[in-house]
Every structure is written in structure tokens, then in C-alpha cells.
Amino acid sequence: MSVLAALGRRLLAAPAAGRFAIVDAARGTALVAMALYHLTWDLGFLRLTPENAALTPAGRAAAHGIAGSFLVLVGVSLVLGQGKTFRPRPFLARIARIGTAAAVISLATWIAFPESWIFFGILHCIALSSLLALPALRLPPWLVAGAALAVLAAPAILARSDAAPALLDAPALLFLGLGRAVPSTNDYVPLFPWFGCVLAGICLARIGLPRLARSRLGAWRPSSRGGRILAGAGRHSLAFYLVHQPVLLGLLSGVVVMTGPHPRAGEASFLRDYRDNCATAGGSPESCRVAARCLLGRLREEGLWQAAEQGALTEEQRARAVALSQACFMEQAE
């Protein structure tokens, strides 16, 4: 209880002099959005939902929006902390903390998810971007804005012009994000285009913070308990980031042990993959849709669905599943 009480006191404590509570609250809001996204991912990963909504187009768009908001706030924080006078000791201490946390995440995911470990996620991007962004704290804002646009646009320009050399797909250069390869990893936030968000945050902060300091919004302090917790979480964002996902996975793993997976887990991706393969083989969209439903039903009837969904069919079961697939396809072709 003493640990929880101490945590509560830190979250509810008043911000230090010179901090903008509204910036802390914005960071806390981004943390809540990130936790909700990770909750969605965890539910799908543990097969507690029919489909992993975090991996759908809408889910990926949400992830990009959340990551972008974090990185813009990184730029704002750099201006707040180092904009007037560069203070090397606190800056380097912050980079060391973030870099160490990034290394811990890489090691932990390499052990837990060796096929999709995180080699350059958002913490890696924040650490490197913070170092690269230092000159932007002194350059004219218009020049920083131009650099931000160039970094944001670079991957799309290279992709459309076919100008990206094959060298950029080398494993050692995947952190740049300028090649065509899409690595298998649970979190990928390459330098391009995401460093552009940090530069955009620096530009916005250098233009907007003087006005914010003179405004009512700049003087705002949260009065409700929820507002103080949100701002407090924003002040301790690294700790929140490191702790929340293990807690969520631990709790939900306990849930799946008690309840088992969702009865329709994996159906949506199975049907989608079957329709795509069927269309590639020359089937019409409607016949492929009906054949996919037919095969799903027959796999369930013969007790093969769970093994098929988990990729654990024996050779005999695989042959039977292929025969069922061919039968369903031929029925629709007649």
C-alpha cells in the first residue's frame, strides 16, 4: 500500500514552477490513448476478440496518430527544457534514461517475440530524434518547418519515384525508414518520416509557447482529481510507458486462462485470406465469399478449425482441409 500511496502522491503533486500543466495533460491524454490502443492489441493477440482491431486499417491509423502526437510533444518538451539555454547534464541524463528503456524493450521483446522483436520503436526514435533535433532549437522557425516537411515527405517521394537504392533495405539501415522493406516487428517508428513530427513540435513550440505563457490556458492548473492524475502521468510518461503494457498483458493473460479464447477468434482473417487466395486463383468475389464461409463451417463440423487457425494441422488433417476447400470451391463454380 505504501508504494501505491507514494505513486498517488506523485501523480497528484503540483507541477514544478515553469511547467505548463496543459502540456503535461496533453502528454497524459496521449498516454491514455496509447494504453487503449495497446489494450486493443493485447485483446486480439490473446484471441479474446474475433479480430485484432489494432491491426485493421482504422487501428493502424489510430496508432500513427498517437505516435505522431507523442513525437510532436517531444519537440515541444525540447524547447521547454533546452530552448533558452542548453543544459547538457539534464539533457544527457534524459537521453540515457530513454535509451536504456529502449534497450530493455528490445531485449525483452527479443526474448518474448523473437520473430517480431522491437529494434526501433517509439523510444528508440525519441532518443535519436532528440539528439538530432538540437540544432533546430537555434535555427529560424521557418527553416525548421521546411526541414519537418522534407522529412515527413521523403519516404513517399522516394516510393513514388522508385529512387530508393536497394542499400536502404539493408537490415542495418531499416531504422531510417527510407527503403521498401517492411520489417516484421511489433513497433516500428523509423526516423523518416517520424523525425519530422519532432521538428514540427519544435517549430510549433518556438512560435506558440510565448503566446501560451501569456494566455489563460498557460496559467491553467487542473482542479479535479482526474485532471491532476492525467497531468501527473504526463510528467512521468516514461515510467507509465514501461509499466502499462506488462500490467495489461499480465491481467489479460489471467482472463484468457479463465475464459478461453473468443469462439470466433481468427475467423475474420481466415475468411479474408481465403477470399484473396480464391480471387488469385480466378474465382469471382461472390463465389469466393460463399466458398470461404462454406470451408469455415466444414472445418468446424469436422473439428479441424482450431488446429487450422493455429497453424497446427497434421499432414493428414491438412490433406483433409485441402479436400474440403476444393469441394467448397467446386460447389460454387457449378
Contact 117, 110 (CB under 8 A): yes
Residue type, 244: H
What pTM was estimated for this model as a whole?
A: 0.85
Residues 69 and 180 occupy one common structural domain: yes
CA distances from 321 to 219, 281, 304, 318 (A): 66, 17, 8, 5
pLDDT at 3: 43
Same-domain check for residues 184 and 203? yes
Q: Based on the domain organization, do 107 and 224 belong to the same domain? A: yes
Domain boundary among 259, 291, 318: 259
CA distance 24 to 202: 16
- Residue 190, preceding peptide bond in cis (omega within 30° of 0): no
CA angle 103, 107, 110 (to 5 degrees): 135
Cβ pair 287, 265 in contact under 8 A? no
Instruction: Provide the b/e sequence for 278-299 (b: ≥16 CB within 10 Å).
Output: beeeebeeebbbbbbebbbebb
The answer on 281 and 309 residing in a single domain is yes
C-beta of residue 225 within 8 angstroms of C-beta of residue 3? no
290 and 234 in one domain? no
Question: Do 221 and 110 fall into the same domain?
Answer: yes
Task: Give the whole-angstrom CA distance, residue 229 versus residue 234.
Answer: 9
Look at the chain and report how many structural domains it folds into.
2
* Same structural domain, 179 and 277: no
Domain hosting residue 194, numbered range: 2-259
247 and 311 inside one domain: no
Q: Which of 259, 293, 317 is the last residue of a domain?
A: 259
CA dist., res. 106 & res. 117, Å (int):
6
End-of-domain residue from the set 259, 283, 313: 259
Are both 158 and 303 inside the same structural domain?
no
The whole-number pLDDT of residue 116 equals 93
Question: Among 317, 216, 252, which residue's Cα sits nearest to residue 43?
Answer: 252
- Dihedral of the alpha carbons of 291, 297, 299, 304, in degrees to the nearest 10: 150
Same-domain pairing of 309 and 201 = no
Same-domain pairing of 110 and 210: yes
Q: Per-residue confidence of the chain (334 residues) as pLDDT tens digits?
A: 444 444 455 555 555 555 899 999 999 999 999 999 999 999 999 999 998 999 999 999 999 999 999 999 999 999 999 877 889 999 999 999 999 999 999 999 999 999 999 999 999 999 999 999 999 999 999 999 999 999 999 999 888 877 667 788 899 999 999 988 889 999 999 999 999 999 999 999 999 999 998 899 888 998 898 899 999 999 999 999 999 999 999 999 999 999 988 888 888 888 898 888 888 888 888 888 988 899 999 999 988 888 887 778 889 998 998 899 888 888 766 5
In the block, which residue shows the cell 522491437? 118
Buried/exposed 179-211: b ≥16 CB within 10 Å, e otherwise:
beeeeebebbbbbbbbbbbbbbbbbbbbeebee
233 and 278 inside one domain = no
Residues 99, 74: Cα–Cα separation, whole Å: 14
CA angle 246, 247, 248 (to 5 degrees): 95
Surface-to-core class of residue 130, CB atoms within 10 Å of its CB (0-12 exposed, 13-18 middle, 19+ buried): buried
Residue 68: C-alpha distances to residues 30, 166, 200 (Å): 10, 27, 10
